[in-house]
Amino acid sequence: MSGSKPDILWSPHQPDRFVICDSELGLYRIGPVGSAETKAGTLPLSEESAATLLAINSDTPYMKCVAWYPKHEPECLLAVGQANGRVVLTSLGQSHNSSCKDLVGKEFVPKHARQCNTLAWNPVDSNLLAAGLDKHRADFSVLIWDISSKYSPEASVAAEKIRLSSVDLDSSTVVTKPLYELGQNDACLSLCWLLRDPKLLLAGMHRNLAIFDLRNTSQKTFVNTKAIQGVTVDPHFHDRVASFFEGQVAIWDLRKFEKPVLTLTEQPKPLTKVAWCPTRTGLLATLTRDSNIIRLYDMQHTPTPIGDETEPTIIERSVHPCESQIGSFAWHPSSQNRMVVVSAANRAMTDFTVFERISLAWSTTTSLMWACGRHLYDCVEEGAEGVESMIEKDIATKMRQRAQSRYGHDTIQVWRNHVLAGGNDPQLKSLWHDLFYMKQCAEDMELKLQGNKQSVVYSGIKNIVKTSSGTTESRRCWSGSDRQTDVPRYHSEERCLALRLCGWISRGPEIDMEAFLRSLEQEREWERAAAVALFNLDIRRAIQILNKGATAEKGDLNLNVVAMALSGYTDEKSSLWREMCSSLRLQLKNPYLCVMFAFLTSEPGAYDGVLYESSVAVRDRVAFACMFLNDAQLPRYIDKLTNDMKEAGNLEGMLLTGLTKDGVDLMESYVNRTGDVQTASFCMLKGSPGEVLKDPRVQCWIENYRNLLDAWRFWHKRAEFDIHRGKLDPTSKPLAQVFVSCNFCGKSISYSCSAMPHQGRGFSQYGVSGSPTKSKVTSCPGCRKPLPRCALCLMNMGTPVSNCPGTGKSDEKVDLTRENKLAQFNNWFTWCHNCRHGGHAGHMLSWFRDHTECPVSACTCKCMQLDTTGNLVPSDSS
């Protein structure tokens, strides 16, 4: 203060009033900018708020510090500490209010004049006002005045003696006898009353922090430190105190007062103010000299340090409330994270709210949650049902839905998996058809050929055509006409296999496409069917298909026009038909119609118009290439296409790469693009070759998918997946890790059980007699001592659960139904790892449905609550 440096105080009880003090005191009211009629004197503080000057008080010159009376009444009573050590009570904007009339103007004068550095009202006993003064010889530097005290007779005597004072003192308002005198022979720079006990006063003295106890003023607790300025108690944590020295803030814990619990990073410039946020725990704001930023230290997540050396983490950040240099700031007492900042130079004020850091978390089920201040926002993906949203659903949502629809688990009709996936993803459709054809071919070969061919099927067309040998060339007639074509077609065993993998032809030595064409017609893919028929050199069939398409329900009549155009085909090199078709075909919207004319107008062996038409399915282009490209062109084309597919991560390319390392590369770029580890996992599991499954990328996808299922609490799905995986990759099966051993001989019961031939292996590894009907293993197979008893039914373990539904005599003969499986689980051993009591799983489960404590009497173990996962419920139902 002292004329240059302003300070701000918020009214402790009126949330819209504050006082700015520099050379005088100014009382302001803050309000929304629009509400009140914008008077001439209104100062804008921010976009929303403005301040109105209510009153000015310039009665007290040479102010060093100001403190606002903490109680409701009298409302606007301020104590002002002056440069000569006097403390004056004054008021602002009060009409002659009787309640504080006798207080206003009262002065408290120390014996020896020296600067008053700080003032602090006792928050409980609000008559007490502590003043911290500079050092004067052996005098006291902390004086606690009782504002209600009447003037003392000595005071008038003292006043008489004052010859140097220019102020005419009305002796009735001057108090010279403090209630308490503390801190002899010392200087006091800062003060605050401790909130944990209103009789305790913390003072920043010259080179030490001291706690004075008013009940015993001869004693003080003190710690030597340089950080003695601006002591302030955390309003949310009454044992935490901040103080500073030059550029460094020290945080103290009064319970461990020997040294600071932490010191904040030192600032190059000296600090001028340090204040705890009253509306948020553990937030400390600091201001340094000549600065336009306020530094905030968030000790929100600070546990009290355990060891001496561990320094808890603090989040430090700065806010920049205004452009000019900040003179002072003050937190609003009740508005969240709000402060008013006053500039050093021109008293310009800024109303500022510190924006809370946002913390954000994704749930496992694609919803997003973030917290800001005291608000919590939940963001859920839209368009889960109802209108098909424009935005594609998140892959996590898709995977979750697909997991629920048992995607990937159809191992017979493999192609059906794309239907389980929703049936609207062309790449998945292509992928699962590829896998289906591969499986078909592989099974087929297994029947008639030696085993090694199987791996060929899965190695992809790229590898198949490389091994192609003995290609024959034929020139066939257009079927239905005698005209010889000059289009050469190539045949070989490998090309034939490739066509099968493409799905164009089915099993058998003949290249018969009729079945394929019929299936396409069934799916109303007229254009594609026509193109396939044409590539099969059956122009008549193509026209027939187009006609059918035009006449079919909701058919496109234009197909007739196309059929007409097609029927005019001539192989004359320079005919008008050829010329028009090659130019007009580009205007056809359907890629298959387009490639049909491209094929007809191309020179033999130069089919770029067909091969590089990217809208045509890869399998059709590859099949076409296998029929019409020679041994030199074909591998080149396939290689190029493979690389394109790999780069794009297009699953259609899986046809070319197969389940090889190339395929993993392709899948990698697909996963990188989509994040779909689910498809990647299921697809790669089909690749029986060990080296593909051993690839660390594949293992990573599989593990991630399993984790994902766990995170969704799809435990049954994960179990299913593990079973599925175990079938396809036997090396992934985990070994038994838990055995039940006999209390007496220490041998594993399960080991003995599994030795019995009639025991079901799956259950025996958990140490349970697998089939309750046949045998009762109630004693250790090793030493014949009885097994422990179930705490509930008091039967020896190994005795089947009797009174559970689904295990009645009638059911026992029935095959393993689902109930029966559950019933078997009811027989399992379970026990608490804490109290070691237990029994039949079924009994235990039903007991803990209604109880929290262990069923064994006199055991108070809360077994079920100790099981952290025991209270979780799977979110998949099966």
Number of residues that bind other proteins (CB under 8 A): 40
Task: Transcribe 416-428 into DSSP letters.
Answer: GHHHHTTS--HHH
Residues from 623 through 682 that contact other proteins (CB under 8 A): none
Residue 23 or 471: the one with the smaller Cβ distance to other proteins is 23
Residue 63 or 625: the one with the smaller Cβ distance to other proteins is 63
Residue 64 touching other proteins (CB under 8 A): yes
Residue 259 touching other proteins (CB under 8 A): no
Selected binder of other proteins within 24, 42, 71, 112 (CB under 8 A): 112
Residues from 189 through 248 that contact other proteins (CB under 8 A): 207, 218, 224, 226
Give the shortest CB-261-to-other proteins separation in angstroms: 19
Residue 164 or 306: the one with the smaller Cβ distance to other proteins is 164
Q: Are 607 and 630 in contact (CB under 8 A)?
A: no
Give the shortest CB-190-to-other proteins separation in angstroms: 15
How open is the CA angle 484-488-492, to the nearest 5 degrees?
130
Residue 226 or 697: the one with the smaller Cβ distance to other proteins is 226
Stretch touching other proteins by CB under 8 A, among 79-87, 451-459, 563-571, 660-668: 79-87
Give the shortest CB-60-to-other proteins separation in angstroms: 11
Give the shortest CB-275-to-other proteins separation in angstroms: 23
Residue 717 touching other proteins (CB under 8 A): no
Q: Are 373 and 365 in contact (CB under 8 A)?
A: no
Neighbours of 533 (CB within 10 A): 26
Omega into 74 within 30° of 0, i.e. cis?
Answer: yes
Task: Transcribe 63-92 into DSSP letters.
Answer: EEEEEE--SSSSTTEEEEEETTS-EEEEES
3-state secondary structure labels for all residues of 787-818: CCECCCCCCECCCCCCCCCCCCHHHHCCCCCH
Selected binder of other proteins within 6, 26, 81, 110 (CB under 8 A): 110
Q: Are 66 and 9 in contact (CB under 8 A)?
A: yes
**Phi-psi domain of 426 (left: phi exceeds 0; alpha: psi -120 through 50; beta: other):** alpha
Residue 64 or 717: the one with the smaller Cβ distance to other proteins is 64
Give the shortest CB-274-to-other proteins separation in angstroms: 19
Give the shortest CB-313-to-other proteins separation in angstroms: 28
Give the shortest CB-107-to-other proteins separation in angstroms: 11
What are the beta bridge partners of residue 839? Answer: 830
Contacts of 251-255 with C-beta under 8 Å, sequence gap 24+, read: 251/284, 251/299, 252/209, 253/304, 254/194, 254/196, 254/211
Binding string, 5-44, against other proteins, x = CB under 8 A? ----------------------------------------
Q: At what angle do helices 677-686 and 395-404 cross, to 10 degrees?
A: 50
**Overall residue count recorded for the chain in this entry:** 878
Residue 62 touching other proteins (CB under 8 A): yes
Q: Is 190 helix (H, G, I), strand (E, B) or coil?
A: strand
CA 333 vs CA 17, 45, 145, 295, 569: distances in Å? 11, 17, 26, 19, 90
Residues from 42 through 61 that contact other proteins (CB under 8 A): 61
Stretch touching other proteins by CB under 8 A, among 94-102, 108-116, 559-567, 568-576: 108-116
- The H-or-E segment that residue 674 falls in is helix 661-674
What are the beta bridge partners of residue 88? Answer: 80, 107
Q: Are 69 and 22 in contact (CB under 8 A)?
A: no
DSSP 741: B
Give the shortest CB-109-to-other proteins separation in angstroms: 6
Give the shortest CB-3-to-other proteins separation in angstroms: 8
Residue 260 or 649: the one with the smaller Cβ distance to other proteins is 260
Distance in angstroms (rounded) separating the CA atoms of residues 650 and 654: 8
Q: To which residue do tokens 């608000």 refer?
A: 375
Residue 95 or 218: the one with the smaller Cβ distance to other proteins is 218
Residues from 422 through 451 that contact other proteins (CB under 8 A): none
Give the shortest CB-134-to-other proteins separation in angstroms: 7
Selected binder of other proteins within 83, 348, 496, 745 (CB under 8 A): 83
Residues from 503 through 522 that contact other proteins (CB under 8 A): none
Residue 135 or 528: the one with the smaller Cβ distance to other proteins is 135
Residues from 120 through 179 that contact other proteins (CB under 8 A): 134-138, 140, 158, 161-167, 176
Residue 3 touching other proteins (CB under 8 A): yes
Q: Binding residues for other proteins, per CB under 8 A?
A: 2-4, 61-62, 64, 83-85, 109-115, 134-138, 140, 158, 161-167, 176, 182-186, 207, 218, 224, 226
